[in-house]
Amino acid sequence: MSREPLIQKLSIIQKQFQLKLDEIRETHQHKGNKGSNVEQIIRDFLKVYFPSDNKIGQGEIIDSDGGISNQIDVIMTNAYHPHINDLSQPSLYFIEGIACAGEVKSILNSEGLTTILSNCLRYKNLNLRLSKEMMIHSNPSDTKRFIEKRPYFLFAFESQLTLNTIFERVSEFINQNCKEIRQQIDAIFLLDRGAIINFGDGQGSFQFRDPQGKSLPGLIIRPLEIEPNLLFSFVTWISAVIQRFTIYNNVLIHYLMKGQMS
């Protein structure tokens, strides 16, 4: 089956996103209202393009050791998260039941980027407990990055910073704060500029290859001039990094029996 209809559909939606942003600007001059509306645009978009098991919400994520994330704009659950959340309001989620998470900005600036990178590190430092009986359907690289931790992205409608500047800022933050790959931000999508994807050690299932066929590790810049359909890249990336596994107990067991399990 050709993927062209999907590419064309996402291209149309991408243009509609910009129109929606313009409408939000006109309707909501208050910064907070504008931010809430652009976040909802992305949540509504993801609800359409991912299976019903992947519930889309917002809020904070906790681990069974008492760790907690900052407020997160987009939280996508996996099939094992209990259905206890009001998806229309900020809520509390459990890290074992998370498929991926991300931040949404109407306009990305320098201060916002720094805050998001710090929030990402806090999210990545949550202690996720894997069930001993679980079956993992993944390779070692992706298991370490996306099962022992969970993917994290930034999506911005506009950016005051160029892709090269963001690349430099992210690289500097990584060198100073999170040299371990699985603690790093996994992807950045800018509707008006393009994407920066973190390919980790280059050994995961989602790879970027040079003309010689060599898989390249680390941060890779993909400007709109090269890949104009950003939403296609966005959906492709999330689909690739959400890993498949099977667990046989309730993820709440680590919270209900805190201190009684190892």
Residue 32: domain span: 4-256
pLDDT at res. 260 = 56
Which residues, at least 6 apart from 210, have a Cβ–Cβ distance to it below 8 Å? 216
- Whether residue 262 is contained in a domain is answered as no
What pLDDT, on the 0 to 100 scale, is given for residue 243? Answer: 96
Q: In 3D, which of 61, 144, 142 has the Cα closest to residue 102? A: 61
pLDDT at site 25:
77
Q: How far is residue 58 from each of residues 98, 99, 101, measured CA to CA in Å?
A: 11, 13, 9
**Cα(75)–Cα(148) distance, integer angstroms:** 17
Tell me the C-alpha distance between 22 and 40, whole Å.
15
Orientation angle between helical segments 230-241 and 4-27, nearest 10 degrees: 110
Tell me, what's the pLDDT at 29?
60
Please give the torsion angle defined by the CA atoms of residues 100, 154, 32 and 44, in that order, rounded to the nearest 10 degrees: -50
Task: Compute φ and ψ for 10, nearest 5 degrees.
Answer: -70, -30
Residue 218 maps to a domain? yes
Task: Tell me how far apart the alpha carbons of residues 230 and 120 are, in angstroms, rounded to a whole number.
Answer: 22
With beta carbons less than 8 A apart as the criterion, state whether 2 and 223 touch: no
pLDDT at 31: 54
Taking every pair of Cα atoms in the chain, the longest distance, rounded to a whole number of angstroms, is 55
Q: Examine residue 30 and state whether it is found in any structural domain, yes or no.
A: yes
Q: Which of 158, 156, 188, 191 is nearest to 171 (CA)?
A: 188
> Would residue 175 count as lying in a domain?
yes
pLDDT for residue 30: 54
Q: How many distinct structural domains can be found in the chain?
A: 1
In this structure, are residues 146 and 206 in contact, taking their beta carbons and an 8 Å threshold? Answer: no
From CA 187, how far away is CA 237, in angstroms rounded? 8
Residue 105 lies in a domain: yes
> For residue 261, what pLDDT is reported?
52
| Contact yes or no for 128/144 (Cβ under 8 A) | no
Residue at 261 is within a domain:
no
pLDDT along the chain (262 residues), means of 10: 86 92 73 72 97 96 98 98 92 98 98 98 96 91 98 98 99 96 98 98 97 97 97 98 94 81 51
Residue 176 covered by a domain: yes
Give the residue from 115, 114, 138 showing the smallest Cα distance to 200: 138
Q: Give CA–CA dist 203/185, Å, rounded.
A: 17
State how far the Cα of 245 lies from the Cα of 63, in Å rounded to an integer: 19
Rounded Cα–Cα distance for residues 195 and 132 (Å): 37
User: What DSSP string runs through 131-171?
Assistant: PTT-EEES-HHHIIIIISS--EEEEEEEESS-HHHHHHHHH
